[in-house]
Amino acid sequence: MDLDTIRGLAYVFFTILFTLFLYAYIVSMYVKDKKGITDYERYSQLALQDELHDAPIEPRPSLNPHKRG
């Protein structure tokens, strides 16, 4: 096997692999949306509500519960 054949096989392998990853991600997003785990419609509002004074889409817990100061 020469180098061009190996490159071609690697290209086909990784193309199929990444396509499978993409479809698995799309299916997982669809399942999470249908089960009500994540509401992706809320995130679509980011395009319209992106000012600094707009309300956050979801509340974030404090990263540091014990403030040092």
Phi-psi region of 64 (alpha: psi -120 to 50; beta: other; left: phi over 0): beta
- 51-58: which pairs have CB atoms within 8 A and are 24 or more residues apart? none
pLDDT tens-digit readout, 4-51: 999 999 999 999 999 999 999 999 999 998 998 888 888 887 778 778
42 contacts 58 by C-beta, under 8 angstroms: yes
Tell me the HSE value of 10 on the side-chain side, using a 13 A CA sphere: 7
Phi-psi region of 58 (alpha: psi -120 to 50; beta: other; left: phi over 0): beta
Q: What is the model's pTM? A: 0.63
19 contacts 26 by C-beta, under 8 angstroms: no
